[in-house]
Structure 1
Amino acid sequence: MKARLYRTLLFAAYQAVLLLGIVTFPLALVAERAGLSLPVGRLVERLGEAHERASED
């Protein structure tokens, strides 16, 4: 039961971060022109990997 809840919460967090990435995309383009980068891509990748690991168990 706890594993299922954990996987569900990871999936929800993954989806929320994807939405955050989509919403902040215009800001990321402006930040890139200024020489800055937003770490949303790394966050999406790490949450995706965590969800995959949790799904394997």
Structure 2
Amino acid sequence: MISRVFRATLFALYQLCIVIGIAAMPLAMAARQAGVTIPIHRMLETVEAVYETTQPTDA
């Protein structure tokens, strides 16, 4: 039961990170024009990796 709650929470966090990334896209594009990168992709990759490791394996 706890693992289901944990996976659901990670899924919600993953979805939230995607929404934040989409919402921050104009800011990221403007920052890139100024020569600065915003590391949103690292946050998304980290959350995705943790979420993927919690998925049950089909044996």
User: Structure 2 length as normaliser, TM-score?
Assistant: 0.89
Measured against aligned partners, the alpha-carbon deviations of 1:1-57 in whole angstroms (never above 9, x if no partner) come to 111111000000000000000001000000011111111111111111100001136
Structure with greater helix share of residues: 1
What amino acid does structure 1 have at the position aligned with 2:9? L
State the number of aligned residues. Answer: 57
What amino acid does structure 2 have at the position aligned with 1:33? Q
Q: For the pair shown, which has the larger CA radius of gyration, 1 or 2?
A: 2
State the partner residue of 1:14.
14
User: Structure 1 length as normaliser, TM-score?
Assistant: 0.92
Q: Structure 1: any 5+ residue segments left out of the alignment? A: none
Q: What is the identity percentage for the equivalent residue pairs of Structure 1 and Structure 2? A: 35
Q: Structure 2: any 5+ residue segments left out of the alignment? A: none
Within a 5 Å distance, the mapping from 1:1-57 to structure 2 comes to: 1-56=1-56
Distance (whole Å) between structure 1 residues aligned to residue 36 and residue 6 of structure 2? 33
